[in-house]
Amino acid sequence: MRLLYSREVTLLRQGNDVRIEEFDGPPALGRFFKAGHLETIPSSRADRIAVLRHLALRFVPGRDYYESEVNRILQGVHADHAMLRRYLVDEKLLRRASGRYRRA
């Protein structure tokens, strides 16, 4: 039984190594992404902020975005685009004014 567990841990570690190699961002964030999609929003605030900072790079500084544009960009990353949008605003990575968003 112990050998099976050891093998599973090794396979998991190999899987994470593959994710990190395939991830087109900071290696520390690779474990949260698979094929360019955020699998889960990190529960740890530090990890969540790191992921959000990476996602904020998808927005051009100085450009205004309508909410529908923000949603479309974030939908390409995770199904719960509304929560990601909220987190980006709450962490002051996006600013919202008059129904438009801008990277902070």
Q: How far is CA 71 from the centre of its chain?
A: 14
Is residue 9 one of the residues assigned to a domain?
no
Q: How many domains does the chain have?
A: 1
- Is residue 1 included in any domain, yes or no? no
The answer to whether position 3 is within a domain reads no
> Is residue 13 assigned to a domain?
no
- The answer to whether 104 and 65 are in contact (CB under 8 A) is no
Range of the domain at 76: 32-103
Confidence band (pLDDT; 50, 70, 90) for 28?
A: confident
pTM of the model: 0.80
C-alpha to C-alpha distance for 87 and 58, rounded to whole angstroms: 15
Answer yes or no: is 51 within a domain: yes
Higher pLDDT, 19 or 74: 74
Identify whether 53 is part of a domain.
Answer: yes
Signed CA dihedral, 86, 90, 91, 95: sign only: positive
DSSP per position, 75-103: HTT-S-HHHHHHHHHHTTSEEEETTEEEE
51-103 confidence digits (pLDDT tens)? 999 999 999 999 999 999 999 999 999 999 999 999 999 999 999 999 999 99
Q: Is residue 81 part of a domain?
A: yes
For residue 37, is it within any domain? yes
Nearest to 79 by CA among 50, 37, 45: 37
Mean pLDDT of 31-35: 86
The more confidently predicted of residues 58 and 10 is 58
